[in-house]
Structure 1
C-alpha cells in the first residue's frame, strides 16, 4: 500500500474491507518495548489486558492472528496462548519468513493482512501488508510509510484500537457506535 498516493481515508477503507488477519510485532507493539528481567536474568513478561482482550475478540470473530518477535521471547508464550489460537513466532524467526509461514498456513494473501509494527527493522514486513500500521510512538521513519498511525502507544491499546477498527468497519464489532445509533 502506498498511502501517500491517494486520499488516505478511501485507501484505508478499501484495505479494511479485505482484512482477514492481523500480524503483530511483539516488542514495541504488544509490549511498550521495555524488557524487564528478574534477579536471575529471566524475562518478566507484561501485556496490556485490553490488547489481549482485543486479540481474543478478533479470534472469536474469525480473524487469524500472528505475533512475531525477532528475538527469543518464549516468556510470552503462556499469556498469548491463553488468548486463543494465536500463531506464535517467538523463537527469533526472521519477521518476513514468519509472515510468509503464517500466510501459507492460513491461505492468506498480503492484502488480507493488517500488520502493526513499530521500528525500522519491520519496514519490509509493513511494505507487504495490506494495511500497515504503527503505534503513535513508533519510529519516526515509519510515519510516512504506513497507512495508519494508531492514536495509542505500543503496549497501551494500539492492538485493541486496530482490532476494533477492522471489526467495526466490517460490521462485526457488536459494541460499535454505528450499531448503537441504529438501535
Structure 2
C-alpha cells in the first residue's frame, strides 16, 4: 500500500481552489446519495440534493462551469444536468481519465485549473490528474486518503455544495454570488 498523500494546508487548499475554472462531478454517491432505485422497467429514481443543485447554478452564474462524468447512463442524470445548465454531461464513461482529458481539451482548461469530486475507486484516476481533487465525507477510504479536500457532508447531502463554496470563496466570488441571489429574490417578490 502506498503512503497517504499529505493534505494541503489551508492556504494551499485555498490557492488550488482559486485556480479552478471547471468543476467536474461523478454522479452516484457524489450528487446523489448513491442509492439506485429499480422497478420492473429499470431505473426509476435517483435522489439529488437541492442545495447542491443551487450551488451549481450559482457557480454557473459566476462564470464557473460544471460538468458531470459518470460510468453509468441514465435519462434522470441527463434531465438533472440540463435543468442545472451544466456545461457537459458525460455518461457511460467506464474509462473516466481519458474522458476527463477530452473534456479539458474541449474547454481549453489545463488540469491544474480543474476540480474533480468522486467517491469510489474508479474516481482515483481523474482525481490524480486535476489541481483540486475532492470527495464526500462517505467516500471509500482510498479516495478520502488521496483527496485534497474531503467535504464534511455525505454524497447527495451537500458535499458538492461545499466544493462550489470553497472555489467561489477562494476566488473572491462568493459574496457576489450571494448578492446576486438576494437581488434575484427581491425582483421576483419571493419572500421565502
TM over 0.5: yes
Q: Deviation of residue 3 (structure 1)? A: 5.4
Structure 1 distance, partners of 2:76, 2:91, is 9
Q: Aligned residue for 2:59?
A: 58
Q: Aligned residue for 2:125?
A: 124
Q: Deviation of residue 72 (structure 1)? A: 1.8
Structure 1 distance, partners of 2:47, 2:131, is 29
Structure 2 distance, partners of 1:7, 1:115, is 16
Q: Aligned residue for 1:72?
A: 73
The alignment covers a number of residue pairs equal to: 174
The gaps in structure 1 that reach 5 residues or longer are 177-183
Structure 2 distance, partners of 1:103, 1:120, is 21
Q: Deviation of residue 45 (structure 1)? A: 2.7
Kept after mapping to 2: 8 A contact 1:73/1:92: no
In the TM superposition, structure 1's runs of 4+ consecutive aligned residues that sit over 3 Å from their partners are none
Structure 2 distance, partners of 1:44, 1:119, is 21
Structure 1 distance, partners of 2:79, 2:44, is 13
Kept after mapping to 2: 8 A contact 1:8/1:147: no
Q: Aligned residue for 2:27?
A: 26
Q: Aligned residue for 1:181?
A: none
The gaps in structure 2 that reach 5 residues or longer are 180-192
Please report the RMSD computed on the Cα atoms of aligned residues, expressed in angstroms.
1.8
Find the residue that maps to 2:42 and give its secondary structure.
coil
Structure 1 distance, partners of 2:86, 2:43, is 25
Q: Give the 5 Å matches for 1:100-139.
A: 100-139=101-140
TM-score, length-scaled by structure 2: 0.84
What are the Cα deviations for residues 46-90 of structure 1, in whole angstroms up to 9, with x where unaligned? 211111111111111111211011122232111210111430012
Kept after mapping to 2: 8 A contact 1:74/1:90: no
Kept after mapping to 1: 8 A contact 2:35/2:46: no
